[in-house]
């Protein structure tokens, strides 16, 4: 990979009270510079940057990403504080306001100039339609990107630059050279003379300097904060009920809206019969929108109860009879009829198939999945005096602010976004998944007081933007000795994550093509995006290849990964830790899968048995992850545990089906989740390769499904080619003799 | 009129008897530490204590708690401390949640902590099977391994 220049333009500005702000911009003339000028004329205390040092020696780090449990506020601050040589005890962490100074755009732009649109953004649906200019106005937390981009290109650079400036100021004051000075715990020291100054005492001077254009970052050996497991700053508020989520917004005078959407996606509201709903206690109004009807009342429960009594008619549509079976039949037709578009064409797969001693075929499919974040979707909007205030949990505060302002008919500068924690994101709270935002704004337009629109769990499940249902058909060709000659794969699109269907294995002839998989069901990024299904497909089929060739699935992978030492390493670490090849308890088997996604490489080994009720029991998952290196190792482990359980829920139970054009599932009993009783022991091993930082929020999700079904195959002789596993019957067991 | 105690304070609310306790707490009393997750007693996000027992407040009408003592996450530590002002402002369960870095998004954790606190009050040393059958709350972020570790650390204490 081309080396990324760390050259960045930094900007300082003075704070009243003798502080200094350090920001950075990847381009010149920068928005930071322009805005600093503007804002300096307007207000003295306006915070304009990533890092603030005050006279009392406190350092404030402004984090432009949403905290949804991934520990990003802590990790990013650690990166800035370490480069600054700050005393962690003196570091305060604040959510950056949703103003465009804090857009991720600068970071993205800096990156895009050298590499094009970063691949994590390609994970968003319709990203191809976004112009780079629009990207600049997003404040996205997604694609496992925060630490990799904002951290590496923003936080560390700002910290290092500030440190250099503070040293320069101290050296000038003492009449010594900068080289003679050292820094530690928010102080500059001149060891020869025993003098030292606190950063706070130097901040006013530093504000007058031009920041260095190419600050020197630390070597990992010099880290004092990064690499340590540090307690997350967001946790204390999450154990005493004081953490605020979007749903907890309570501006004065607020009303509540409960909404009924058109059940069949894309249809419109025809009529409403309110009956005596308006006479019910607390009910204020009924709002009819193009595709929905809402009841607004003085409490959410009153609004919801009233909505139940209201009858409504939605238009009929050609989709009213569509079922999941029809959708899969459409996929089969596309796969049979279409040549599709090229993902990979290498060698001559057709010739290899014809000359092969043996060919195997297997067809896989996965259903739609809902995000089901724990906090149901909600948005509170107050439109007043040509201004708008918005409260919602989002992965893109700035984008939401712009969206709400536009719908409210208010200038973006007159929109205020109120931050909160997210009760889970997983892609549901990314740009384009705007239904609750749009509807909440349209409803609030009818009132002068704030209105909080809340989707019930049922609404949330039935009006999501889903992980797509996908079908994927494979063929593999072998020579007489069982060596794989060719890999042939056709799957239904769209491609949301380029590269997810690629395989790392050394197979000379490969033909991978994608055919049309469009349906009327809205889709979006879902934790790990296309990797969630593609890894199940490819890592299952590789396993099929191994068994057909009479080879050990672990050994076959190692052999075919000669060119991928990082993949081999995580496989070996996981295998060793899981006791692969050693004696297991009676009736247990190990299944393996490995996948690279979002810059991290993850191997997972599931230890599984078939329980007394004929259901698979996952006893333990051993995971090795190479994420380059770890900023906060405990956070890495937590994210891996989380990702595995998220993937396990999908593999075991996850299934959104379509009946009569609409989603058949309602709430958790019919969209079951892994719970304490079904949650395995998880053993995480971090492999530090020292390569570029990889993502953490998503990469542990993809491998678990195949690791589990590969173990089930050994235990039962049944190859699970359709998820979820709960739909399969394992009452007749025919274990495979292991190689 | 609904009358009950929340965290030791008497509340009199002019609300419908069938309003679920969850919404009385959140929308009428502005106590948003108790969370809405499913509304059908499936996820446990709304767990509170009624006379010390864990109850899912989303399906508990206020009429069913008339005159009862309710504890929510906001009052958990104070109720445990009682009049003893020297007790720290977190319970052992809450502290274990910090020590083991349990919460991720945190949205389910009020309910997890309330469910765990009730379990440990009646069974200070639960087996894994007892943990599994008592703590049936959903955590979409998958904090279960840490919940188990935290409970075990308390059981061994
Ligand atoms: S909200 Fe009460 S159990 Fe889910
Ligand atoms: S911590 Fe997010 S749902 Fe449990």
Instruction: Report mean pLDDT in 10-residue bins for chain A, 739 residues.
Output: 36 51 44 37 32 85 83 91 95 79 50 39 33 42 64 80 90 97 97 95 80 83 96 96 97 98 97 96 98 98 98 97 98 97 97 97 98 98 97 89 95 93 93 93 98 98 98 98 97 93 98 97 94 98 97 97 97 98 95 95 98 95 96 96 98 98 96 98 97 90 98 97 97 84
Question: In this model, does residue B54 exceed pLDDT 50?
Answer: yes
First to last CA, chain A: 38
CA distances in angstroms from A267 to A259, A264, A308, A322, A661, listed in the order given: 15, 6, 20, 14, 10
Rounded-to-integer distance, Cα A307 and Cα A280, Å: 11
Neighbours of A42 (CB within 10 A): 7
> Closest Cα to residue A511, out of A526, A523, A501, A525?
A501
Q: Which candidate from B26, B31, B101 shows the least CB-CB separation from A231?
A: B101
Cβ distance B145 to A232 less than 8 Å, yes or no, reads no
Cβ distance B32 to A241 less than 8 Å, yes or no, reads yes
Q: Say whether residue A682 is in contact with chain B using an 8 A CB cutoff.
A: yes
> Closest Cα to residue A198, out of A22, A57, A87, A60?
A57
Residues 6+ apart with CB under 8 A from A408: A381, A383, A388, A415, A441, A444, A445
Pick the atom of ligand 2 nearest to B104's CA. Answer: 1
CA distances in angstroms from A342 to A119, A148, A393, A485, A537, listed in the order given: 18, 30, 38, 19, 18
Question: In this model, does residue B123 exceed pLDDT 90?
Answer: yes
* Helices (H), ranges, A175-196: none
Q: Which candidate from A236, A638, A667 shows the least CB-CB separation from B38?
A: A667
CA distances in angstroms from B9 to A267, B57, B75, B78, listed in the order given: 49, 18, 10, 12
pTM of the model: 0.92
Structure tokens at A725: 């596993």
The pLDDT score that the predictor gives to residue A155 is 82
Rounded-to-integer distance, Cα A140 and Cα A126, Å: 15
Q: What is the CA radius of gyration of chain B?
A: 15
Q: Are strands A255-261 and A451-454 parallel, antiparallel or unpaired?
A: parallel
Say whether B50 sits in a helix, a strand or coil: strand
Residue ranges matching CATH 1.10.150.120 in chain B: 81-156
ipTM score for this prediction? 0.97
Q: Say whether residue B20 is in contact with chain A using an 8 A CB cutoff.
A: yes
> Closest Cα to residue B91, out of B69, B113, B123?
B113
Helix (H) or strand (E) holding A557: helix A553-560
- Provide the residue count of chain B: 157
Residues of chain A with Cβ-Cβ distance to B34 below 8 Å are 241
Q: How confident is the model at residue B81 (pLDDT cuts 50, 70, 90)?
A: confident
Say whether A113 sits in a helix, a strand or coil: helix
Q: Cα A694 vs. chain centroid, distance in angstroms?
A: 13
CA distances in angstroms from A522 to A162, A179, A260, A433, A470, listed in the order given: 46, 59, 17, 9, 13
The pLDDT score that the predictor gives to residue A26 is 37
Residues of chain A with Cβ-Cβ distance to B145 below 8 Å are 641, 679, 681-682
Residue ranges matching CATH 3.10.20.30 in chain B: 2-80
For chain A positions 12-71, those within 8 Å of chain B (CB to CB) are: 68-70
Cβ contact A64:A104 at 8 Å: yes
Q: A557 φ, ψ to 5°?
A: -60, -45
Cβ contact A635:A71 at 8 Å: yes
Pick the atom of ligand 1 nearest to B41's CA. Answer: 3
What's the CA-to-centroid distance between A627 and ligand 2, angstroms?
A: 23
The pLDDT score that the predictor gives to residue A421 is 94
Q: Residue B35: CA atoms inside 13 Å, Cβ hemisphere, count?
A: 37
A326-368+466-727 maps to CATH 3.30.365.10: yes
Rounded-to-integer distance, Cα B100 and Cα A6, Å: 36
- The per-residue b/e assignment along A386-397, b for 16 or more CB within 10 angstroms, e otherwise, is eebbbbbbbbbb
Options 2.60.120.10, 3.40.190.10, 3.90.550.10, 3.30.365.10; CATH of A10-238: 3.30.365.10
Rounded-to-integer distance, Cα A501 and Cα A485, Å: 18
Q: Say whether residue B60 is in contact with chain A using an 8 A CB cutoff.
A: no
Rounded-to-integer distance, Cα A501 and Cα A142, Å: 20
Write out A422-491 in H/E/C secondary structure: CCCCCCCCCCCCCHHHHHHHHHHCCCCCCEEEECCHHHHHHCCCEECCEEEEEEEEECCCCCEEEEEEEE
Cβ contact B52:B3 at 8 Å: no
Domains A10-238 and A326-368+466-727 share a fold: yes
Partners of residue B4 on adjacent β-strands: B11
Rounded-to-integer distance, Cα A296 and Cα A408, Å: 18
Rounded-to-integer distance, Cα A74 and Cα A70, Å: 9
Question: In this model, does residue B155 exceed pLDDT 90?
Answer: no
Segment A631-669, tens digit of pLDDT: 999 999 999 999 999 999 999 999 999 999 999 999 998
> Closest Cα to residue A606, out of A678, A534, A547?
A678
Q: Residue A233: CA atoms inside 13 Å, Cβ hemisphere, count?
A: 19
Cβ contact B98:A240 at 8 Å: no
Pick the atom of ligand 2 nearest to A374's CA. Answer: 3
Q: How confident is the model at residue B87 (pLDDT cuts 50, 70, 90)?
A: low
The minimum CA-CA distance between A101 and chain B, rounded to whole Å, is 26
The pLDDT score that the predictor gives to residue A239 is 97
> Closest Cα to residue B115, out of B27, B23, B37?
B37
- B interface mutation test: which of A301, A429, A641 has the most B CBs within 10 A? A301
For chain A positions 652-671, those within 8 Å of chain B (CB to CB) are: 667-669
Partners of residue A416 on adjacent β-strands: A389
What's the CA-to-centroid distance between B157 and ligand 2, angstroms?
A: 25
Helix (H) or strand (E) holding A169: helix A156-174
Helices A553-560, A531-548: axis angle to 10 degrees equals 110
Ligand 1 close to Cβ of residue B100 (< 6 A): no
Residue of B nearest to A458 (CA): B38
Q: Where are the domains of chain A?
A: 10-238, 246-317+377-454, 326-368+466-727
Q: Which candidate from A240, A642, A679 shows the least CB-CB separation from B90?
A: A240
Q: Cα A732 vs. chain centroid, distance in angstroms?
A: 39
Rounded-to-integer distance, Cα A666 and Cα B16, Å: 26
> Closest Cα to residue B65, out of B19, B98, B9?
B19
Cβ distance A238 to B43 less than 8 Å, yes or no, reads no
B2-80 maps to CATH 3.30.930.10: no
Neighbours of B97 (CB within 10 A): 29
The minimum CA-CA distance between B10 and chain A, rounded to whole Å, is 20
CA distances in angstroms from A364 to A723, B66, B111, B130, listed in the order given: 9, 55, 38, 38
Structure tokens at A254: 């607020």
The minimum CA-CA distance between A106 and chain B, rounded to whole Å, is 27
Cβ contact B43:B108 at 8 Å: yes
Pocket test for ligand 1, best of B25, B33, B38 (most atoms within 8 A of CB): B38
Cβ distance B141 to A374 less than 8 Å, yes or no, reads yes
Cβ distance A375 to B132 less than 8 Å, yes or no, reads no
* Cis status, amide bond into A494, omega within 30 of 0: yes
The pLDDT score that the predictor gives to residue A157 is 80
Say whether B146 sits in a helix, a strand or coil: helix
The pLDDT score that the predictor gives to residue A116 is 39
Cβ contact A20:A12 at 8 Å: yes
**To which CATH superfamily is domain B81-156 assigned?**
[2Fe-2S]-binding domain (1.10.150.120)
Cβ contact A102:A61 at 8 Å: no
CA distances in angstroms from A400 to A21, A150, A403, listed in the order given: 27, 20, 5
> Closest Cα to residue A364, out of A229, A469, A252?
A469
- CA-angle at A14, arms to A9 and A18, nearest 5°: 135
- CA-angle at A515, arms to A368 and A522, nearest 5°: 35
- B interface mutation test: which of A238, A245, A257, A643 has the most B CBs within 10 A? A238
Neighbours of A384 (CB within 10 A): 13
CATH architecture of A246-317+377-454: 2-Layer Sandwich (3.30)
Q: Which candidate from B28, B39, B136 shows the least CB-CB separation from A457?
A: B39
Write out A21-56 in H/E/C secondary structure: EEEEECCCCCHHHHHHHHHHHHCCCCCCCCEEECCC
């Amino acid at each position: 990979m081309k080396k990324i220049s760390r050259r960045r333009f930094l900007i300082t500005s003075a704070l009243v009270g003798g502080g200094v702000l350090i920001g950075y911009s990847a381009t010149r003339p920068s928005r930071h510079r322009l805005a600093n000028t503007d804002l300096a004329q307007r207000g003295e205390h306006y915070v304009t940057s990533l890092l603030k040092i005050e006279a009392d020696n406190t350092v404030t780090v402004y984090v432009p990403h949403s905290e949804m449990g991934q520990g990003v506020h802590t990790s990013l601050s650690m990166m800035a504080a370490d480069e600054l040589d700050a005393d962690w005890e003196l570091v305060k962490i604040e959510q950056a306001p949703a103003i465009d100074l804090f857009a991720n755009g600068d970071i993205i732009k800096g990156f895009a100039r050298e590499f094009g649109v970063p691949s994590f953004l390609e994970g968003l649906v319709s990203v191809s339609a976004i112009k780079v200019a629009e990207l600049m106005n997003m404040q996205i937390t997604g694609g496992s990107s925060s630490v990799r981009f904002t951290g590496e290109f923003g936080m560390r650079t700002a910290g290092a630059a500030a440190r250099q400036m503070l040293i320069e100021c101290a050296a000038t004051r003492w009449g010594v050279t900068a080289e003679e000075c050292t820094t530690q715990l928010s102080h500059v020291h001149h060891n020869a003379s025993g003098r030292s100054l606190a950063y706070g005492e130097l901040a006013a001077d530093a504000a007058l300097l031009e920041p260095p254009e190419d600050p020197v970052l630390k070597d990992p050996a010099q880290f004092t904060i990064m690499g340590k497991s540090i307690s997350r700053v967001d946790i204390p508020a999450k154990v005493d009920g004081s953490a605020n989520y979007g749903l907890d917004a309570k501006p004065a005078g607020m009303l509540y809206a409960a909404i009924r959407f058109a059940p069949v996606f894309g249809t419109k509201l025809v009529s409403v019969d309110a009956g005596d709903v308006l006479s019910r206690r607390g009910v204020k109004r009924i709002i009819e929108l193009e595709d929905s009807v809402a009841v607004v009342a003085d409490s959410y429960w009153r609004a919801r109860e009233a909505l139940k009594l209201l009858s409504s008619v939605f238009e009929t549509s050609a989709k009213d009879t569509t079922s999941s079976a029809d959708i899969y039949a459409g996929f089969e037709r596309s796969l049979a009829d279409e040549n599709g578009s090229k993902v990979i064409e290498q060698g001559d797969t057709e010739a290899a198939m014809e000359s092969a001693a043996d060919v195997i075929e297997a067809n896989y499919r996965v259903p739609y999945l809902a995000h089901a974040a724990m906090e149901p979707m909600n948005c509170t909007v107050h439109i007043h005096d040509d201004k708008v205030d918005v409260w919602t949990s989002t992965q893109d505060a700035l984008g939401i602010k712009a969206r709400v302002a536009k719908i409210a008919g208010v200038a973006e500068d007159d929109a205020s976004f109120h931050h909160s924690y997210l009760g889970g994101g997983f892609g549901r709270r990314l740009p384009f998944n705007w239904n609750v935002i749009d509807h909440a704004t349209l409803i609030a337009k009818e009132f002068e007081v704030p209105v909080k629109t809340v989707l019930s769990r049922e609404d949330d499940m039935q009006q999501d933007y889903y992980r797509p249902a996908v079908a994927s058909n494979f063929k593999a060709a072998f020579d007489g000795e069982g060596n794989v000659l060719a890999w042939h794969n056709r799957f239904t699109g769209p491609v949301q994550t380029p590269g997810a269907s690629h395989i790392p294995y050394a197979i000379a002839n490969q033909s991978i093509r994608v055919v049309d998989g469009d349906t009327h069901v809205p889709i979006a990024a879902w934790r790990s995006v296309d990797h969630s299904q593609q890894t199940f497909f490819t890592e299952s089929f590789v396993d099929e290849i191994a068994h057909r060739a009479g080879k050990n699935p672990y050994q076959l992978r190692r052999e075919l990964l000669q060119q991928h030492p990082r993949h081999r390493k995580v496989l070996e670490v996981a295998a060793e830790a899981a006791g692969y090849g050693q004696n297991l308890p009676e009736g247990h088997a190990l299944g393996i899968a490995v996948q690279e996604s979002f810059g991290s490489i993850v191997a997972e080994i599931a230890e599984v048995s078939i329980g007394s009720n004929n259901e698979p029991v996952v006893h333990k998952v051993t995971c090795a992850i190479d994420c380059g290196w770890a900023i906060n190792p405990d956070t890495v482990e937590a994210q891996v545990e989380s990702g595995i359980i998220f993937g396990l829920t999908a593999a075991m139970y996850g299934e959104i089906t379509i009946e009569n054009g609409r989603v058949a599932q309602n709430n958790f009993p019919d969209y079951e989740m892994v719970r304490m009783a079904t949650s395995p022991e998880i053993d995480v091993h971090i492999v530090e390769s020292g390569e570029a930082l990889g993502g953490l929020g998503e990469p542990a999700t993809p491998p678990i499904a195949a690791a589990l079904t590969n173990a089930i195959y050994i235990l039962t002789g049944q190859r699970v080619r359709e998820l979820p596993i709960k739909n399969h019957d394992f009452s007749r067991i025919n274990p495979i003799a292991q190689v | 009129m609904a009358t009950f105690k929340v965290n030791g304070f008497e509340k009199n609310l002019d609300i419908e008897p069938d309003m679920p306790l969850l919404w009385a707490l959140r929308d009428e009393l502005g106590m948003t530490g108790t969370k809405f997750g499913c509304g059908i007693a499936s996820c446990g996000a709304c767990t509170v204590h009624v006379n010390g027992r864990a109850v899912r407040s989303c399906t508990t009408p206020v009429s069913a708690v008339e005159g009862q003592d309710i504890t929510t996450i906001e009052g958990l530590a104070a109720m445990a401390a009682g009049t003893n002002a020297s007790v720290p402002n977190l319970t052992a369960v809450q502290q274990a949640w910090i020590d083991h870095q349990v919460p991720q998004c945190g949205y389910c954790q009020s309910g997890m902590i309330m469910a765990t606190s009730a379990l440990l009050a009646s069974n200070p040393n639960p087996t894994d099977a007892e943990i599994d059958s008592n703590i049936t709350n959903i955590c979409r972020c998958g904090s279960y391994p840490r919940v188990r570790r935290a409970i075990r650390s308390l059981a061994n204490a």
